[in-house]
Amino acid sequence: MTLAIFLAVFYELFWLDLFPAGTYMPPNALFPMLCVLSLSLSQLNHDCITLFLPIILTLPLASFGSYLEKRQREWQVASYNRLILAFRAGSNLEKATGRSIFASLAQLFALNCAAFCIISSLVLFGVSFLTDQMGQSLLYPDASWPLLWTIGAVGGLLSLRIRRNYVIFALGSIGIGLIFLME
């Protein structure tokens, strides 16, 4: 559970500045997180040192997750049109709506399950192949969760978007750095 929470904090920080508004779908942070968690089950060591590279390399999978959701929404346009025709024809709207929702959820579930199984298998194969080829050189011995969270905090910094906030952030960082230097 600790690993899942640490990963969730990293991925949430990384995409902190992106939020769904209107038709925009931000990257799906759960997709790479679940891939890394499934990869961690196959490894004996669940620490940040062994998972650092897979965590970084699976970041693009979040965009793939939102791409799948976008495609599924486009596929549901036909279902929406059938609902409108059923409404205009005066047929049982509750039954048509229920079928449409069930079909959409089943399609989304099947699509995401298939994509997750294929992608997580590829990630597992890729990491095991790289580990066999490169051995211990894949490990980043200085990796730690605070380092990953600092990398992820770039998303929080990008969410500021106002110049005055950048100045306040920089002055605060300098002040904290000076305090640590004095100690």
CA-wise closest residue to 121 among 39, 34, 32, 33: 39
152, 13 contact by CB (below 8 A): yes
pLDDT of residue 15: 78
- In this prediction, residue 82 carries a pLDDT of 80
* Contact (Cβ atoms closer than 8 angstroms) between residue 130 and residue 137: no
Asked if 22 contacts 8 with a C-beta cutoff of 8 angstroms, the reply is no
Please give the share of the chain, as a percent, with pLDDT higher than 70: 87
**pLDDT at position 90 over 80:** no
Which residue would you say has higher pLDDT here, 58 or 140?
58
Q: Which two tokens stand for residue 6?
A: 């640490």
Structure token digits, residue 148: 């990953």
| Alpha-carbon gap, residue 94 to 100, rounded angstroms | 10
Q: Is 7 left (phi over 0), alpha (psi -120 to 50) or beta?
A: alpha
Residue 78 · residue 31 · CB < 8 Å: no
Query: By residue range, what is the domain housing residue 70?
Result: 2-182
CA distances from 7 to 52, 63, 85, 134, 164 (A): 10, 17, 45, 25, 31
Q: What is the mean pLDDT of the chain?
A: 79
Dig out the tokens for 91 from the structure.
């047929």
pLDDT in tens, 152-165: 887 777 666 677 77
Q: Is the pLDDT of residue 18 over 70?
A: no
Band (pLDDT 50/70/90 cuts) for residue 112 is confident
Q: What is the pLDDT of residues 118-162, one digit of tens each?
A: 988 888 888 777 777 766 656 666 777 788 888 788 777 766 667
Q: Is 24 helix (H, G, I), strand (E, B) or coil?
A: strand
pTM exceeding the 0.85 threshold for the entire prediction: no
Please state the domain count of the chain: 1
Segment among 41-45, 79-83, 90-94, 178-182 with least mean pLDDT: 41-45
